[in-house]
C-alpha cells in the first residue's frame, strides 16, 4: 500500500515537473522599439511665458455694486407665536422623599437661584423634582446651568412645549 502511494506521488510530481519546464520554455521576452520624434516647436521658457500671458480682466468690480440681494430677517427678528414656542427648565434632581428634595432646593437657593420642588404623581407614589425656570430661551438656561455646574451642582436642560388648547 505504501509502495502504491509512493508511485502515485512520484508520477504526479513528474507530470508537474515536465509541465512547468514546458511552460518556462514557451515563455519568451519580447522587446518593442519605440521611435521618438523630436519636437519641431520650441517650448518657451518660464520667463517668456510670464511675459506673454494674457491680461486678466475682472468685471465683477463693476457688476456687484449694481446687484441687489433680498436678505431675510434674522431668526430673532421674525415673529414667534408665544403660545406654542418652547420653554426651558433646568432639572437638578428627582427624589421620592419630599424632605430630601426640599433640602436640595435650599442648597440651590443659598447660591442665589430660585429653585422649586415640583411634585409629580407616578402611579401610587409621588416623585419630587428640583427644577429652576422656566426660561424663554435656551442660551440663558445654559448660562445658569454652567454657573451652577461650576459650583458643583449638575443639572440637565429640559425643553418643554406647551400643549395646544382644543
pLDDT, one tens digit per residue, over 39-67 is 666 666 655 555 555 666 666 666 666 66
Which helix (H) or strand (E) covers residue 116, if one does?
Answer: strand 115-122
Domain with 145 in it: 87-160
96 DSSP 8-state letter: S
Please give the grid coordinates belonging to residue 156.
440637565
83 DSSP 8-state letter: T
Q: How high does pLDDT run on average in the chain?
A: 77
Tell the residue number behind the cell numbers 517650448, with chain if given: 43
Question: Between β-strands 125-135 and 87-95, what pairing exists: parallel, antiparallel or unpaired?
Answer: antiparallel
Which helix (H) or strand (E) covers residue 89, if one does?
Answer: strand 87-95
| Residue 27 DSSP SS3 | coil
- Does 147 fall in a domain? yes
- Does 142 fall in a domain? yes
The number of folded domains in the chain is: 1
Whether 75 has a pLDDT exceeding 60, the answer reads no
Per the DSSP assignment, residues forming a β-bridge with 129 are: 94, 118
- Does 68 fall in a domain? no
Task: For 150-166, write each residue's pLDDT tens digit.
Answer: 988 888 988 888 776 65
Task: For 136-150, write each residue's pLDDT tens digit.
Answer: 888 988 998 999 889
Q: Which of 5-19, 21-35, 90-104 has the lowest mean pLDDT?
A: 21-35
- Does 42 fall in a domain? no
Measured torsion, CA atoms of residues 113, 114, 119, 120, in degrees rounded to the nearest 10: -70
**Measured distance CA(13)–CA(71) in Å, rounded:** 84
- Does 46 fall in a domain? no
Q: Do 115 and 145 contact (CB within 8 A), yes or no?
A: no
- Does 18 fall in a domain? no
Whether 114 has a pLDDT exceeding 80, the answer reads yes
Which helix (H) or strand (E) covers residue 14, if one does?
Answer: helix 2-26
Q: Which of 75-84, 113-122, 131-140 has the lowest mean pLDDT?
A: 75-84
- Does 123 fall in a domain? yes
Structure confidence at residue 99 as a pLDDT band (50, 70, 90):
very high
Q: What is the CATH number of the domain that holds 147?
A: 3.30.70.1070
| Residue 156 DSSP SS3 | strand
Q: What is the arithmetic mean of pLDDT over 29-40?
A: 64
Q: What is the arithmetic mean of pLDDT over 105-132?
A: 89
- Does 113 fall in a domain? yes
Amino acid at each position: 500500500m505504501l509502495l502504491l502511494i509512493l508511485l502515485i506521488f512520484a508520477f504526479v510530481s513528474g507530470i508537474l515537473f515536465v509541465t512547468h519546464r514546458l511552460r518556462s520554455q514557451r515563455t519568451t521576452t519580447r522587446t518593442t522599439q519605440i521611435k521618438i520624434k523630436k519636437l519641431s516647436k520650441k517650448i518657451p521658457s518660464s520667463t517668456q511665458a510670464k511675459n506673454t500671458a494674457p491680461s486678466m480682466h475682472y468685471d465683477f468690480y463693476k457688476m456687484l455694486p449694481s446687484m441687489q440681494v433680498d436678505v431675510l430677517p434674522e431668526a430673532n427678528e421674525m415673529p414667534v407665536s408665544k403660545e406654542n414656542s418652547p420653554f426651558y427648565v433646568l432639572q437638578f434632581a428627582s427624589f421620592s422623599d419630599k424632605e430630601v428634595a426640599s433640602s436640595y432646593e435650599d442648597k440651590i437657593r443659598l447660591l442665589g437661584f430660585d429653585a422649586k420642588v415640583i411634585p409629580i404623581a407616578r402611579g401610587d407614589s409621588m416623585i419630587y423634582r428640583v427644577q429652576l425656570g422656566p426660561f424663554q430661551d435656551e442660551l440663558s438656561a445654559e448660562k445658569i446651568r454652567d454657573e451652577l455646574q461650576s459650583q458643583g451642582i449638575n443639572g440637565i436642560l429640559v425643553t418643554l412645549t406647551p400643549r395646544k388648547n382644543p
